[in-house]
Structure 1
Amino acid sequence: MRRRGDVPVAETMETTMSILDEAANVTEQQPARRGWRVLAVLSALMGFASISTDLYLPAMPDMGRELGADAGSIELTVSGFLIGFSLGQLFWGPIGDRYGRRLPIAIGLLLFVLGSAGCAISTTAGMMVVWRVVQAAGACAGVVLSRAMVRDLYAGERAAQMLSTLITVMALAPLLGPIAGGQILAYAGWRAIFWVLVGVGLLTLAALFTLPETLSPERRNREPLIRALAGYRSLLADRRLLAYAGAGGFFYAGIYAYIAGTPFAYISYHHVPAGLYGLLFAAGILGIMATNVLNSRLVMRSGSARLLKWGAFGAALSGAVSALAALTDIGGLWGLTIPLFVFVSWSGLIVANSIAGALNDFPERAGAVSALVGALHYGSGILGSALVGTFANGTPWPMGLVIGVAGIGSFACACMVTPVQSRR
């Protein structure tokens, strides 16, 4: 990994190879589930949420000018994506528990391709928001069910370790996305960005069929889908699950406030060129990769609940500093970017541990739990990005305020999590 921090590259590769070797021997009946191919495809599926948004971030100001929309309207394209993404997961989870993982993912990828093409031909901001909802409804199938595939294979701290490794590899998408998006924008215009996403969806669909099915027929939930959907009520009554989901959910509110707000905070307010914006955004992704590698090394010794609290505490502190910098403009551009970089970097200790902790207690309903946690995470993202768009005033302050509150909320939820044995 490019950012070494406290973890040597050799140890990082050793961890990754250990996980890959274990994946190769999880079951004798499915020998195709092994090696770098599995890692690459699962990472691609988990990365659809990032690449669907990060690739077009540098183009948002240009989109607004061409579509005749203000900054708040264009920022709502992020919120529209999150609406489809969060609500769609609630349907794909039970479907995946009943029919397996691969077929629902394939159908979702086809929806993603359709939505991306619709975005490319949009002529108004309203059309763009609608097609972004369609795009998200398809993209979320791969994200929610790839997490369930990890839970099919692993449990407890090992699941958190595997998720951290996948997120580290997946982070290449948001790392390169804004940079690539800026180059596509410069040479072919913003519509070409969405045609590129059409190609990405088709390539991932082809790669999907190189993976085996991880949920065997005898392990599938045979309940009617209506009853399975009603089962979310019992999950919502579990306080421990809600604490895990809340810690990640508040953090996602801050992350998507960052995603929706930084293009205008950096490019419009601080006059950063669109091409350089991609580099600033990439710095945060490097921080995420570094802390995910660190989490994968520490989680087996320290436990996912403890690391979640450490990460949430760091997010609360850096979020508060970001809010102060956005309000007072202390330090100018760097006074804002540095605490924001620290805030997003804590993702490595928060996201994987939040998801794995929630999944660990319900192995027989991994798809539904993954869907519920994902819906709460991205639903919070809807709120975070929508608040930035609604209260946009030409300064970074609305973004900074949302991030500060989100960090404190994440830490409060993490404090309600206590390590216990799995209920299996």
Structure 2
Amino acid sequence: MTKKRYIFLILILGSLTALAPFSIDMYLPGFKAIAKYLHTSTDQVALSLSSFFIGISAGQLLYGPLLDRFGRKKPLYFGLCLYILASIGCFYSSSLQMLIVMRFFQAIGGCAASVAAMAMVRDLFPVGDIAKVFALLILVLGASPMLAPTIGSYITAHFEWQVIFLTLTIMAVVILAAVIFFLPESYQPDPTYSLKPKPIINHFLTVMKDAQFLTYALAGAFAFAGLFTYVSSSPIVFIEVFKVSEQDFGWIFAGLSVGFIGSSQVNSMLVKRYKSERIIDVALVCMVIISGVFLLGSFYNWFNMAGTIAMIFGVLCCVGITAPNTSALTMAPFTKNAGSASALMGAFQMAIGSLASIGITLIKSQTTLPMSAVMAASAVIALSTILIGKRFIKNKVEVSEGTTVMSH
């Protein structure tokens, strides 16, 4: 594979993985405008974010078996077309209920893109390159929290909020064209793969019985919940607690995402020198310490806005280093059930992320306390999962530069 072709594939796969996060981040600055238009509160508008998370969790499990049965591209076409139709539905939403339902279907469509992209990484690249490719995908993915809220804030300031969903529709049409004309089919359809409920459940159970999968998928999902916590609670923390404008919020959100993206690129250098397993351990210990300090500071009111930004930046750096390594070690044991493994990994991430975003609403406090408490809890559970889960991994498939190593 030529270098140009390699980069081009990563750009297409990256844009597929970025579609769902873009759909989340771009409309965050429009919460106030949407609430005003639909005669409701920003808390109620946040339910459309929850319905999106639920749709993505459910959709991950739906597409895993379809990708293994029909190849990667046909389910991807279906998902992108559903996303386009649902985005048009969001554009025409005249009630909160309609927006919540349309966001659910938008998520079901959009998650076909991320599940297919993850499975295609496993198909198209050697195992030794997977951690590096995931880090490059996060670089493209990272454009989402940098660009999306900033674009969303300017659209909200100069146009009606509906234009946000028109922009997302156009993006999806461009991505669909790129997939049709430039992305190769990376997996031959398997007619023997049954789509009946019992065999599908058995495929998922086979994947979940792998101790390496379960350990790194769950640890990665809990670490990633730190990012979900930040996304869900940042409009409340910055717009309502620290009273910044929607446009300034867009810039703060973009600036903080540099921590997540930058650290994932630092990881590309780290994997050349250290094992992914070691990198995860250190990153999670740092995440526990930083989020613990953030929680204490929130409780005792130590931090102003600059201090809060510094704490969030630290947590996001830890997530950015952990994510590509847990993803690589989660997917490494699979060649046959890669679609199901990718779907389950994504479902864990989204389900635990959804729980984190709901957890924030349960802590009734107009401070940074809900954000810091959920971040700290996520970090502690992620580290505990790694420490306990490692004891049950008998035949570990390691990810190292250019090779796959079975260790006993």
TM-score (norm 2): 0.91
Residue deviations 1:354-373 (CA, integer Å, cap 9, x gap) = 11111111111111000001
Q: Does 1:420 align with 2:396?
A: yes
Does residue 119 (structure 1) correspond to residue 90 (structure 2)? The answer is yes
Q: Quote the Cα distance in structure 2 between the aligned partners of 1:253 and 1:344.
A: 10
Query: Match for residue 171 of structure 2?
Result: 200
State how 1:264-283 maps to structure 2 within 5 Å.
264-283=236-255
The aligned residue for residue 184 of structure 1 is: 155
- Looking at structure 2, the residues matched to 289 and 39 of structure 1 have their Cα atoms a distance apart, in angstroms, of 15
Q: Which residue of 2 aligns with 1:410?
A: 382
Q: Distance in 2 between matches of 1:74 and 1:318?
A: 31
Tell me the distance in 2 between the aligned counterparts of 1:121 and 1:318. Answer: 43
Quick one: distance in 2 between partners of 1:268 and 1:387?
18
Q: What residue in structure 2 maps to residue 162 of structure 1?
A: 133
Alignment CA distance shift 1:352-1:221 (3 Å)? farther
Shift of 1:38: 1.3
Aligned match for 1:43, one of 14, 29, 37: 14
- Counterpart of 2:231 (choices 259, 262, 266) is 259
CA contact (8 A) 1:71 1:389 kept: no
- The residue that corresponds to 1:83 in the other structure is 54
TM-fit CA distance, 1:221: 6.5
What CA deviation, in whole Å up to 9, does each residue of 1:125-154 have, x standing for no partner? Answer: 222221111000011111011011010123
* Whole-Å separation in 2 of the counterparts to 1:337 and 1:150: 33
Letter in 1 for 2:166: W
The sequence identity of aligned pairs, in percent, is: 30
Measured at CA, do residues 128 and 322 of structure 1 come closer, stay the same or move farther in structure 2, by a change above 3 Å? farther
Secondary structure of residue in 2 paired with 1:47: helix
Q: CA RMSD in A?
A: 2.0
Residue in structure 1 matched with residue 192 of structure 2 by the alignment: 222
- Residue 333 in structure 1 maps to residue 333 in structure 2: no
Q: CA deviation at 1:113?
A: 1.1
Does structure 1 retain, via aligned residues, the 8 Å contact 2:220–2:323?
yes
Which residue does 1:312 correspond to in 2?
284
- Secondary structure at the residue paired with 1:189? coil
Residue in 2 that maps onto 1:3 = none
Displacement of 1:157 after TM fit?
Answer: 4.1
- Deviation string, structure 1 residues 198-240 (Cα, Å, up to 9, x no partner): 11111111111111111134xx372211213432122223322
The answer for the alignment partner of 1:100 in structure 2 is 71
Structure 1 distance, partners of 2:213, 2:191, is 20
Which residue identity does 1:126 align to in structure 2?
A: Q
Secondary structure in 2 aligned to 1:363?
Answer: coil
Q: Does 1:399 align with 2:366?
A: no
Partner Cα distance (2:228, 2:35) in 1: 19
Summarize the Cα distance change of 1:160–1:126 in structure 2 as closer, same or farther, 3 Å threshold: same
Residue among 260, 284, 287 paired with 1:288? 260
1:153 aligns with 2:124: yes
Query: Hey, what's the Cα distance between the residues in 2 that align with 1:355 and 1:147?
Result: 9
Aligned to 1:283, the other structure's residue is in SS state: helix
Q: Aligned to 2:337, what secondary structure does the other structure show?
A: helix
Equivalenced residues, count: 393
Question: Cα distance, 1:93 vs. partner?
Answer: 1.0
Q: Which runs of 5+ in 2 are unaligned?
A: 398-404
Equivalent residues of 2:256, 2:309 under 8 A apart: no
Provide the secondary structure at the position in 2 that maps to 1:214: coil
Unaligned 5+ runs, structure 1: 1-19, 25-33
Report the CA distance shift for 1:271/1:249 in structure 2 as closer, same or farther (over 3 A). Answer: same
Matches within 5 A, 1:351-366: 351-366=323-338
Structure 2 distance, partners of 1:272, 1:221, is: 55
SS at match of 1:106: helix
Distance in 1, matches of 2:110 and 2:311, equals: 30
Residue 155 of structure 1: how far off its partner (Å): 4.5
Matched to 2:303, the amino acid is G
- Aligned mate of 1:370, from 342, 349, 368: 342
Q: Which amino acid aligns with 2:288?
A: A
CA 1:221/1:46 → structure 2, altered by over 3 Å: closer, same or farther? farther
Contact 2:18 2:140 in 1 (8 A): no
